[in-house]
Chain A
Amino acid sequence: MSMHTLSISQMAKGLREGEFTSEALTRHYLARIEELDDEYNSYITVTPEIAIEQAKAADELIATGNAGVLTGIPIAHKDIFCTKGVRTSAGSKMLDNFISPYDATAVSKLAQSGMVMLGKTNMDEFAMGSTNESSFYGATTNPFNTDMIPGGSSGGSAAAVAALLAPVATATDTGGSIRQPASHCGLTGIKPTYGAVSRFGMIAFASSLDQGGVVARTAEDAALVLDAMMGHDPLDSTSNPTASPATTASLGDSLQGKTIGVPTQFLSDNLDADVKRVFDETRATLESLGAQFKETDLAAAEQAVATYYVIAPAEASANLSRYDGVKFGYRCKDPQDLQDLYLRSRSEGFGDEVKRRILVGTYALSAGYYDAYYRKAQQVRALLTQQILAAFEGVDMIMGPTAPTPAYELGDKVNDPVATYLEDMFTIPANLSGIPAISFAAGFTESGLPIGMQLMAPHYGEAALLNAAHQFQLATNFHVQAVEKVLEVQA
């Protein structure tokens, strides 16, 4: 078995038993990135010096016998997480020259647990997009078929892990940006409860929705990394004072007697036929593992996209007002005066999708429209959250497809923002209500593109989600087939 197909616990065992060193493992991944990433464009920045230095330190720690399960395991970070001394671009020309002066809390926690940073992954500009096509550094491709989108905005993280150019990667999710690329790339991706992972040093898009998480090849890998990322952080005022329980401890639980709700709204007649088939098959597998299914009502989900596309742009317009060309980031050439400096730096530094969202957000917050748009959206958000939490009465988890279709061709929806926005309809409810949600590989189209299913749980329910995906993976081998399919394409 090659090193790049090992799970985290297999790698940890190999390191502990002296089968290979972290330096060898890290060099192996760096060589694969060098050899293969032209095809995917999944990394914006590769950090070989830091990686080798961290790997050597990990090897020393492993030699003392005091290593943890993550010591010496390579990881890629989405380029939205600040990394000290390394460019942190958020996929934007605006931050192309930005060298972060500090590490994001998530990054430093993973470094403290001994993980080795391979580099920074590609993403939609400021995480605004579901295709990875809005990146200033060019689109990322899907490792299952490089004519296809990998999904977004964490498309670089998903493509890197799916292409076996990183064992695991950090990602962020504001409206589905962890789960949808995980679905399109045959991975397990989890967005934890809002506030479970610190947002300190995670470049802000929409602060009341943004949440950090993981994309991995299996639920077990995701659980190991997520447990090291979560925890209260005094540097993030929205960080949860209540810690989510460690997820790895629950990975052996049975699904016997668990009830899974299925919102009728998630299975409409015009759902893609392959997605519907995979849903039915997943349901049958989970039933065979002891879970019971029942219909639930989530009528408010129909308003989720509209609500989100008021709140997220409004918060983005406020967050992105900090990019003014003065203290850091892009500055236009030869500004005539301060006004010209602000205006041209922002106009030249931001791409079209970011401008669209800033304009929608500014409009929704402007005098005369605030009540009709922003306040109204926050009220609908409250209604929707009440309805989602009510739907969990008598139900442990809610299941549906992650995305309404499998990955589509690059360029397909580039001129139709609303069509792209509607792709987020199944993922957005979890962000609006702050609940955790997971996507896991559950099947394939006839042409071999992956299809993911989503499970949602009440607040702090990460462990139940990861365990359900883990039990599914013990009973099926879609996560293994995903690796085999990518290796066939690469051969």
Chain B
Amino acid sequence: MALDHETLQKVARLAQLGLSNDDADRLNSDLNNILSMIDSLQTIDTDGIQPMAHPLGFNQPLRDDVVTHQDNREQLLANAPATEDGHILVPKVID
């Protein structure tokens, strides 16, 4: 399944990545080489095989729903690119 420019730009939008035309040219042939390598999977008969999500076949464990308190607000906010009065700032979303 080869990737054309239009599909690549659509996938880039889904991934929230902006690609210039130069980027797209450069990446397109790399991506098509990768896709032709992984296309070999299509030749394998997998009828009736359960897809594998966990390497040891474990299910997600459950734990008790217990209230915890972590006093790390300042440390977490210190990593935010822009803050004010204990809030993280982003560009205006609603006019």
Nearest opposing residue in chain A for B20, CB measure:
A347
CA distance A170 to B14 in the complex (A): 35
Report the minimum CB–CB distance from A339 to chain B (whole Å).
8
Chain A's closest residue to B14 (CB) is: A362
The answer to the question of A306 belonging to the interface, with a C-beta cut-off of 8 Å to chain B, is yes
Q: Are B15 and A359 in contact (CB under 8 A)?
A: yes
Q: Does the CB pair B93–A379 fall under 8 Å?
A: no
**A360 in contact with B16 given A208-B55, A380-B44 (CB within 8 Å):** no
Residue B1, interface by CB 8 Å: yes
Contact B12 A385 (CB under 8 A): no
Q: Would you call A55 an interface residue if the criterion is a C-beta within 8 Å of the partner chain's C-beta atoms?
A: no
Query: Is A172 interfacial (CB-CB < 8 Å)?
Result: no
Is the pair A338, B55 in contact by a Cβ cutoff of 8 Å? no
Given A208-B54, A238-B54, A359-B27; A366-B14 close (CB under 8 Å) = yes
User: B37 touching A306 by the CB < 8 A rule?
Assistant: yes
Number of B residues, CB within 8 Å of A:
53
Query: Chain B's nearest CB lies how many Å from the CB of A66?
Result: 31
Within 52-77 of B, Cβ neighbours of A (below 8 Å) are at 52-56, 58, 60-61, 63, 72, 75-76
Nearest-Cβ distance from residue A115 to partner chain B, whole angstroms = 23
Chain B interface, DSSP helix/strand/loop, else mixed: loop
Q: Mark A342-361, 1 if CB is under 8 A from B, else 0.
A: 11101100101001101110
Which residues on the A side are within 8 Å of B27 (C-beta)?
Answer: 352, 355-356, 359
Contact A383 B79 (CB under 8 A): no
> Are B42 and A418 in touch, CB under 8 angstroms?
no
For residues 206 through 243 of chain A, which have their beta carbon under 8 Å from a beta carbon of chain B? 208-209, 234, 237-238, 240-241
Cβ of B3 and Cβ of A363 under 8 Å apart?
Answer: yes
Contact with A along B1-23 (1 / 0, CB 8 A): 10100011001101111110001
Question: Which A residues are closer than 8 A to B by beta carbons?
Answer: 97-99, 101-102, 193-195, 208-209, 234, 237-238, 240-241, 303, 305-307, 309-310, 317, 321, 324-331, 335-338, 340-344, 346-347, 350, 352, 355-356, 358-360, 362-364, 366, 369, 372-373, 375-383, 385, 417-418, 421, 431-434, 459
CB pairs A–B below 8 angstroms (11 shown): A195-B56, A240-B56, A240-B58, A303-B40, A306-B39, A341-B91, A342-B16, A347-B18, A355-B17, A355-B27, A362-B15
